[in-house]
């Protein structure tokens, strides 16, 4: 079942209504994207692996968690700021790496980067036109609060890392990397992003092979010829290789193992974040290998179907790590209360994949900015309504015991 249908079915079960007007902003934008993108592009973005159980569970798992709000705690001011890797960001929601943004919007990742970087406040027309109601009044933001957050740009971007940085030089960025069969290609990318001021490397470890995405197979999906993986343009390693999705298929190395973490550490001083951890055993190994963080991720349910929802995997991982490195999470974040629940269960920050793409498809950089703005406002409201004045006050006491 598609994400949209699944969410609708769940909502209908919960509320007894088919209440489209009350859809959260991410699902509203998803609906817009579905109506406006080509079928093959939509299918690619929305895809999950096999029967999409994990993709759908990523969302539904949040809806099974109940909060324990505290009251009478003077929430007249709430501060959403936090830090990741020692750097302050405006609120604990960043943008996960997703490929091929030029399929959603002509400016591609350049628009995403602009939408994420600090800039003028967004226009509120979407909030009025899509939700049909003005956002409820909120406590005033903390004085220095801004929507600055972290954008992890994908190796498989349709704009180059140079174009992304030039478009929005003030942004805080991490680079998503694969270990390629040709280690020189990985090293080349590391050197480039170091020189450009990227602040961390996010090593994706859950794609030894591409998951079985049935719609993509049926559609014979591949990047159209007028679009390119710009990061590989002109590189001899990528030139003659056979392609998968329009990506040189020899780039990913299925033989990578923990020893490659040492290799990566030997060629860079940047913090290394491993993306795609789902068990306490691998989290423990990540600590032992001295990386600076992990992202609890199942690749948006696009790789192994049948694995856990990320929010369900989080607790055992946080308990194993015991604060020895930062633990982040992606997958299924669609509302401010999802963010609150993930933080309460121990995530330092969460990342959104598809919602940023839906925003991009809706209105380019303004659409991305609005998704972030709305998630920010929802998160701030959820904090206040549960009695949290700042991010440090969010902890497991907020979660009903049956979920711990």
**Residue 162 tokens, joined:** 């140079």
Partner in contact with 171, chosen from ligand LXCWX6NK, ligand FMN, none, beta carbon below 5 to 8 Å by kind = none
Find the distance separating the first CA and the last CA of the chain, reported in whole Å: 28
Partner in contact with 275, chosen from ligand LXCWX6NK, ligand FMN, none, beta carbon below 5 to 8 Å by kind = ligand FMN
Q: In the chain, what are the helix, strand and coil shares in percent, each to the nearest 5?
A: 45, 15, 40
Closest to ligand LXCWX6NK by CB, 180 or 379: 180
Partner in contact with 293, chosen from ligand LXCWX6NK, ligand FMN, none, beta carbon below 5 to 8 Å by kind = none
Q: Helices (DSSP H) in 16-138: which residue ranges?
A: 25-36, 39-46, 53-63, 109-116, 125-131
275 binds ligand LXCWX6NK (CB under 6 A): no
**In the complex, least distance from residue 44 CB atom to ligand FMN, rounded to whole angstroms:** 6
**Residue 301 tokens, joined:** 């349910």
Residue 257 known to bind ligand:
no
Residue 176 known to bind ligand:
yes
Cα–Cα distance for residue pair 36/43, rounded to 1 Å: 12
Interacting positions 336-375 with ligand LXCWX6NK (CB under 6 A): none
162 binds ligand LXCWX6NK (CB under 6 A): no
Q: Which of 156, 172, 174, 328 binds ligand LXCWX6NK (CB under 6 A)?
A: 156
3-state secondary structure of 91: coil
Cα–Cα distance for residue pair 67/72, rounded to 1 Å: 16
Q: Which of 302, 348, 363, 376 binds ligand LXCWX6NK (CB under 6 A)?
A: 302
Residue 336 known to bind ligand:
no
230 binds ligand LXCWX6NK (CB under 6 A): no
Q: Is 289 a catalytic residue?
A: no
Active-site residue among 36, 226, 299, 376? 299
Residue 110 phi, psi (nearest 5)? -60, -40
Q: Which of 173, 299, 354, 369 binds ligand LXCWX6NK (CB under 6 A)?
A: 299
Cα angle, residue 115 at apex, residues 86 and 356 outer, rounded to 5°: 90
Q: Which residues bind ligand FMN (CB under 6 A)?
A: 45, 58, 96-99, 154, 156, 176, 204, 275, 297, 299-300, 302, 330-333, 352-354
Residue 297 known to bind ligand:
yes
Residue 85 known to bind ligand:
no
Closest to ligand FMN by CB, 99 or 325: 99
Residue nearest to ligand FMN (CB): 353
Q: Which of 51, 215, 244, 260 binds ligand LXCWX6NK (CB under 6 A)?
A: 244
**Residue 34 tokens, joined:** 């579905």
Closest to ligand LXCWX6NK by CB, 274 or 388: 274
Cα–Cα distance for residue pair 391/342, rounded to 1 Å: 12
Instruction: Evaluate whether 309 touches 57 at the Cβ level (below 8 Å).
Output: yes
Q: Which residues pair with 294 in a beta bridge?
A: 274, 327
Strand 243-244, strand 293-296: pairing: unpaired
Q: What is the dihedral angle through the alpha carbons of 336, 338, 344, 345, rounded to the nearest 10 degrees?
A: -160
DSSP-derived secondary structure letter, 34: H
221 binds ligand LXCWX6NK (CB under 6 A): no
81 binds ligand LXCWX6NK (CB under 6 A): no
Task: Give the interface size with ligand LXCWX6NK as a residue count (CB under 6 A).
Answer: 9
DSSP-derived secondary structure letter, 309: P
**Residue 306 tokens, joined:** 């049948």
Other C-beta atoms closer than 10 Å to the C-beta of 227 total 16
Active-site residue list: 299
Contact residues for ligand LXCWX6NK (CB under 6 A)? 99, 156, 207, 210, 244-245, 247, 299, 302
Residue numbers in the known binding site for FMN are 97-99, 154, 176, 204, 275, 297, 330-334, 353-354
Residue numbers in the known binding site for glyoxylate are 44, 178, 213, 299, 302
């Amino acid at each position: 079942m598609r994400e949209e249908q699944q969410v609708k079915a769940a909502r209908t079960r919960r509320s007894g209504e088919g209440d489209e007007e009350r859809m959260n902003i991410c699902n509203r934008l998803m609906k817009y994207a579905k109506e406006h993108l080509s079928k093959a592009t939509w299918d690619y973005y929305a895809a999950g692996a096999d029967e999409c159980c994990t993709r759908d569970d990523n969302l539904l798992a949040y809806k099974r968690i109940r909060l324990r709000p505290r009251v009478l705690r003077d929430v007249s001011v709430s501060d959403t700021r936090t830090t990741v890797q020692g750097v302050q960001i405006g609120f604990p929601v960043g943008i996960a790496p997703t490929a091929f943004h030029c399929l959603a919007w002509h400016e591609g990742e350049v628009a995403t980067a602009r939408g994420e970087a600090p800039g003028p406040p967004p226009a509120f027309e979407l909030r009025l036109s899509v939700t049909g109601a003005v956002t409820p009044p909120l406590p005033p933001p903390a004085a220095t609060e801004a929507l600055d957050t972290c954008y992890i740009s994908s190796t498989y971007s349709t704009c180059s890392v140079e174009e992304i940085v030039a478009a929005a030089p003030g942004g805080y960025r991490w680079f998503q990397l694969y270990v390629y069969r040709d280690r020189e290609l990985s090293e080349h990318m590391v050197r480039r992003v170091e020189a450009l001021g990227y602040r961390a490397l996010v090593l994706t470890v859950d794609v030894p092979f591409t998951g079985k995405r049935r719609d993509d197979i049926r559609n014979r999906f591949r990047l159209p010829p007028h679009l390119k993986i710009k990061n590989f343009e002109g590189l001899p390693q990528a030139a003659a290789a056979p392609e998968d999705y329009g990506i040189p298929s020899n780039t990913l190395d299925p033989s990578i193992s923990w020893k490659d973490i040492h290799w990566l550490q030997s060629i860079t001083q940047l913090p290394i974040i491993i993306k795609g951890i789902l068990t306490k055993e691998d989290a423990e190994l990540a600590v032992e290998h001295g990386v600076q963080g992990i992202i609890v991720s199942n690749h948006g349910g696009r790789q192994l179907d049948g694995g856990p929802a990320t929010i369900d995997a989080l607790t055992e991982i946080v308990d194993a790590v015991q604060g020895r490195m930062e633990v982040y999470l992606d997958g299924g974040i669609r509302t401010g209360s999802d963010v609150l629940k993930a933080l309460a269960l121990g995530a330092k920050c969460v990342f959104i994949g598809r919602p940023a793409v839906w925003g991009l498809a809706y209105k380019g950089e303004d659409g991305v900015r609005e998704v972030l703005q709305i998630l920010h406002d929802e998160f701030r409201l959820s904090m206040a309504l549960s009695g949290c004045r700042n991010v440090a006050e969010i902890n497991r006491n907020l979660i009903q015991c049956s979920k711990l």
